Amino acid sequence: MSLNKTGKTISQKAAHKRKDRVAEITNTLEWLITAFMLAFVVRAFVMEAFRIPTGSMADTLKGNHFRLRCPQCGYMYDYGCDQREHGLYQNAILSNQAKIPTSRCPSCGYYNSTHRAIPISNGDRILVLKCFYQLFEPKQWDVIVFKNPLDPPTNYIKRLVGRPGETMEIIDGDIYINGLISQKPTKVQDELWMPVYDNDYQPARPREPFFNYHQWQQPFRNIAESKWKIDKDNPTLFHLNSSVDEINSLIYDTSIGNDFKTTYAYDDVKEYEHMPYCSDLMVRFYHLSDKPRGCIGISLSKYQTVYCARVDFKSDTEPAGFTGNMTIAKVVDNKQTTLDSKPIKLPAINKPALVKFANVDHHLIFQYGSQKLTYDLGRGPEDAGERRTDIPPQLKIFGSGNITLSHLAIFRDIYYTAKKPTHRPETGRATEGKSFTLSEDEFFVLGDNSPNSEDSRWWGKQGKSNNGPLYRQGIVPRDYLVGKALFVYWPSGFEFPWPQSLKTFLLKNSQHNRLLQMMHLIVSLRWIPNIGQMRFIHGGSGDNI
């Protein structure tokens, strides 16, 4: 028997090597088992991934949808895909193309009815903190996952708006708790603004007659002898050259542009005409002036009251640092009353300043540059004036001096509807005049896509219970809470640029061959992540606006 230099036989050395391999394999198996156990524990008790199947929470969270770009102005938006219309079950992983129904651009109002086939994008995939509500009390405006009371094996996702002991009422699209309007936290409100018009997106072929059933025109128009002009070389810019004492106004004409109804680009255009008006609006633009003289302002109406926000610039003779004055006022029957004002320091000359004015949840918010001025109108239903939901809001921009405006856009707030579309005229639960009080361990939920959401307003049966009596209609019981939606980790991505010849071959030959069907599914899946749409899902934490 041969010996090595250490005196050990070759067979002994081989035996030690075999023992080492067995130990390595054993250690690997132990790590794998531990990892699997940890994964199961994390999934069961800490965090789980879910996919959004429907559009009831759009545009906050999207179900299966078409990713569209307006063929006229280039504005990007999404349109919901109803799986049933394409013969698919709700949780289907989509790989096919389908014809787009008629949709409307949420900016320029162009009705796109080409009906061409494009890929269907899958719903957002989100991470949910499980058992979160066993440690912390749910907060209003949280986005929550829960067991559907009517079908407990099915998970639903909605926004929590009512908690135990609270009396709920939806009045003119807003949430009232115990008779007072509920004002949304800043991050939640920022997430819920919806576009009405964005002047940066100009149509390429404005003479086509499909912009809200007419040819496109600039929806901002001059009043009387106003001197506002559109830049000939860049129609996204507005210029004003007038004396500092001469107020010139631009009014947004809803007979030309998109109106202020609670329409969703995500939803069926057939229901648009039946939607109510939303009077909670925000205007945003950038203001540039070569001299700090004159003024710039915005007015928004709600019911029969007009609210004005303006900045008046002081003389340009100041030796250092130009100043101005911010003011919020209201006008009723042509009588103006100042609500609040404060002096401000202006940004440098020839530097654009962001200007925003919002009337939302009975709260007026005015921003010029980094300066803000806010005013609370009161939290009672009548504190913003006598409610007249049949009166559409009006919007105006006014100013004097030498001014250039850019990046002008209008947004509206979310509006919780009280009625279903026309085929269901009855009003929902907890709507005006039908207040709803929640008992212990009961919660009230609504979808962000309010006209197209089956939620606490509409559940017509008592909730099923594992033991004991049935749950009340319209509520989510505490023991059905699954967790808090945290993060969109995989929005619908983009297809890998496979050769078109390969895709065509698989499409033609995979009908009766399972291997080719699987390859077609792999090729059609969206492997490239849409990183720009990865985001946190904001809930009820943080200060109110």
Q: What are the CA-CA distances from residue 385 to residues 304, 330, 381 (Å)?
A: 7, 11, 8
Among 192-196, 312-316, 437-441, the range scoring the smallest mean pLDDT is 312-316
Per-residue pLDDT at 40: 47
Residue 523: pLDDT band with limits 50, 70, 90: low
Among 42-51, 53-62, 181-190, 404-413, the range scoring the smallest mean pLDDT is 42-51
* pLDDT greater than 60 at residue 36: no
Judge if pTM exceeds 0.85.
yes
* pLDDT greater than 90 at residue 441: yes
* pLDDT greater than 60 at residue 44: no
Mean pLDDT for the stretch of residues 293-305: 94
* DSSP string for 353-407: EEEEEEEETTEEEEEETTEEEEEE--SSTTTTSS--TTS---EEEEEESEEEEEE
Residue 423: pLDDT band with limits 50, 70, 90: low
* pLDDT greater than 60 at residue 377: yes
Residue 432: pLDDT band with limits 50, 70, 90: very high
For 443-497, write each residue's pLDDT tens digit: 999 999 999 999 999 999 999 987 778 999 999 999 999 999 999 998 988 777 7
8-state DSSP, 26: H
Q: Among residues of the chain, what percentage have pLDDT more than 70?
A: 85
Per-residue pLDDT at 160: 98
* pLDDT greater than 80 at residue 542: no
* pLDDT greater than 90 at residue 528: no
CA-to-CA distance for 392 and 262, rounded, in angstroms?
12
Per-residue pLDDT at 1: 43
Mean pLDDT for the stretch of residues 398-405: 95
Q: Up-side HSE of residue 138: CA atoms within 13 Å toward CB?
A: 33
φ, ψ at 339 (rounded to 5°): -95, -40
Per-residue pLDDT at 2: 46
Q: Which tokens go with 115?
A: 């009906």
The type of residue at 191 is E
Enumerate the β-bridge partners of residue 476. Answer: 443
Per-residue pLDDT at 3: 44
* pLDDT greater than 60 at residue 297: yes
Residue 510: pLDDT band with limits 50, 70, 90: confident
Q: For all residues of the chain together, what is the average pLDDT?
A: 87
Q: What are the CA-CA distances from residue 480 to residues 40, 57, 129, 459, 486 (Å)?
A: 21, 19, 14, 15, 18
Higher pLDDT, 487 or 520: 487
